Structure 1
């Protein structure tokens, strides 16, 4: 999975960016109101147990007509769907959700739901390791101005029963003002790499890694601290030594390997007003190319959280599919885009 850093950037742009389907809500083909989901957001994806798992944030079972943004009745801080759908061309059909005894989508990670204490607990990404499933989460103290929020800490939760129940781990955790509050996770050459950003959407990206067998060992994490003259990466056990690898207003992000381009792709909410952005990386730590608009805020007002998964591509990887949240109607949608390579 090592690209050719001697070659220039190969991604010229995007074409045929289109909405394919609505994934959540009463108006979706999945009719998630049947599991008490009238509105939800996020929708990051990971693979485990032969399924793809979709991870959602604040979830509401009933919303008055015309309600804008997060809110409503039957509030749960998070929810989890699974699918075996392998054809992304017409949307994704969920096989089911993790549900409670009443058949409603179950809150996986509990929260106090008290403003300025712990408003909610939002899972930012999932991954599988050591026969278990993990969710990276952030404990949100307070939602502030648009694109900004206060966080108590970030951490990991674990499930050993195929996603049915979850326990927050005492360690590792990261401070709420660190650069690893929101993460994207991928396996690279036998290690788990975490690309991280701060709370909100107004900072850059840093990188850390850990062996899968040591994911629960705080001192096992190593932080990217720069490269030598020959491009060899340097890793430090000191979080303060972490270098910023993408300097931008980066919010919710996902990073995947593109077999089609032999490059890394990073999608994210651009807090600078550019909507959803896409960048090409020569290695996991860069260099990373300029931001390309994936979906503009002018075309889709209130968009955020563009998440990719390597398996959801077409045409040999030349077409990518991704989730995208929209503040009004506060649900998750399925999009596609064609990667345009340089001649």
Structure 2
């Protein structure tokens, strides 16, 4: 198995504490490039070489997750803890009729999790196992009421590792509406100190259902020896809102008042941070579903992927966490892959110094998670 290129300067959230400090690269250090736009033009021209590499989940998937009573599942956002990557799934089902499309089936769990130490993304990701119950079946991490118009499910939107603890940010869904529309009760956080076996909900850390932070994508940035900041890009419930931004010191993520919200820039272009969520400014104005944001060393820019209803999965380049963000470029066309959603990246899974990116992608039919790759093409 090929070893992945080590990220010496900028690492995705989840690497062991103390190893994610940025180091200098050329005239401007990595952290400076992450946080201070240099005013140059966008460099991402297009994407090429899109390829479906593997089916990760289900009875026909490379991991044969039917052995864990996972015949159908979706999402698959990722976070790292040391050399292990955790894949977090949404509504998960046991046996299903062979011709069934979308979510449904027996043995419904609102969420599930797999883990892997596979460092070679080129042939798919082999799971080492899943978080299981006493009889070896994939366990529901965060129980839900499963009652429509009360709490139909709890969907983890992303995980992270901080303070020697695993965290799951999730949304409590009140009701699934028309395609792309759903109502949330709130967004919350749960934590685990035993490698994901048990989870405790943080009752005091919640965002209301009409907020812009129902689904989040986090990233850890550490400047020198100081305490790391965790940046969270967020969207409302559903797939028809824009992206907002908040951050918190690593030690403060368990306190709601530890989060600050991007409220625009001052006359010098510096970010303004507010303690009021209602003052959060939109950083990407689009119809955004299931977003994922990482730093890319090949472009030396931020990358954001998400489902854009009516078009497919798109990718955008960002000069700083708050932008400016470039125009969306189609990464996966909906006509080639009908029913696509949930494009999740992890900077651990790249090749060619970040030119080749890998990502998880869900397809409504067969309601499972696939592994894709694509090449980033710079402007000449």
TM range (shorter): over 0.9
The answer for unaligned runs of 5 or more in structure 1 is: none
Matched, 1:341 2:341: no
Partner of 2:204: 171
Maintained 8 Å contact 1:210/1:221: yes
CA contact (8 A) 1:155 1:172 kept: yes
Q: Distance in 1 between matches of 2:69 and 2:82?
A: 25
Task: Please state if 1:116 is matched with 2:149.
Answer: yes
Moved more, 277-286 or 221-230: 221-230
Query: 1:46 aligns to what?
Result: 79
2:32 counterpart residue number = 2
> Within 1, Cα distance between the matches of 2:258 and 2:69?
40
1:5 and 1:283 in contact (8 A); partners too: no
Instruction: Please give the TM-score of this superposition, normalised by the length of structure 1.
Output: 0.99
Residue 242 of structure 2: aligned partner: 204
Give the match for residue 14 of structure 2: none
Secondary structure of 1:245 counterpart:
strand
Question: Which of 245, 269, 277 matches 2:314?
Answer: 277
1:205-250 Cα offsets, whole Å, 9 max, x none, are 0000000101111111100011122221110001111000000000
Q: CA deviation at 1:50?
A: 2.8
The equivalent position to 1:237 in structure 2, one of 275, 290, 302, is: 275
The answer to whether residue 177 in structure 2 is matched with residue 147 in structure 1 is no
The root-mean-square deviation of aligned C-alpha atoms, in Å, is 0.7
Q: How does 1:1-343 map to 2 (within 5 A)?
A: 1-3=31-33, 4-189=37-222, 190-271=228-309, 273-343=310-380
Could you tell me how far apart the structure 2 residues matched to 1:50 and 1:210 are? 25
Distance 2:111 2:150 in 1: 18
Which range is displaced more, 4-13 or 31-40?
A: 4-13
Deviation for aligned residue 1:188: 2.0
Q: Distance in 1 between matches of 2:181 and 2:285?
A: 17
Separation in structure 2 between the aligned mates of residue 141 and residue 120 of structure 1, nearest angstrom: 7
For residues 75-127 of structure 1, the C-alpha deviation after alignment (integer angstroms, 9 at most, x for no partner) is 00000000000000000000000000111000000000001100000000000
Write the deviation string for residues 283-333 of structure 1: whole angstroms up to 9, x where unpaired.
010000000001010110000000000110001110000000000000000
Q: Residue 257 of structure 2: SS of its match in structure 1? A: helix
Aligned partners of 1:207 and 1:2: how far apart in 2? 18
Select between 159-168 and 2-11 the one with higher mean Cα deviation: 2-11
**CA distance, structure 2, for counterparts of residue 24 and residue 127 of structure 1:** 22
Measure, in 2, the Cα distance between the counterparts of 1:234 and 1:299: 41
Between the aligned partners of 1:334 and 1:19, the Cα distance in structure 2 is 6
Distance in 1, matches of 2:97 and 2:248, equals 45
Partners in 1 of 2:318 and 2:64 — Cα distance? Answer: 37
Number of equivalent positions:
342
Distance 1:43 1:29 in 2: 15
User: 1:49 Cα deviation (Å)?
Assistant: 4.3
The C-alpha deviation readout for 1:190-214, integer Å capped at 9, x for no partner, is 2001100000000100000000101
TM superposition shift of 1:158: 0.4
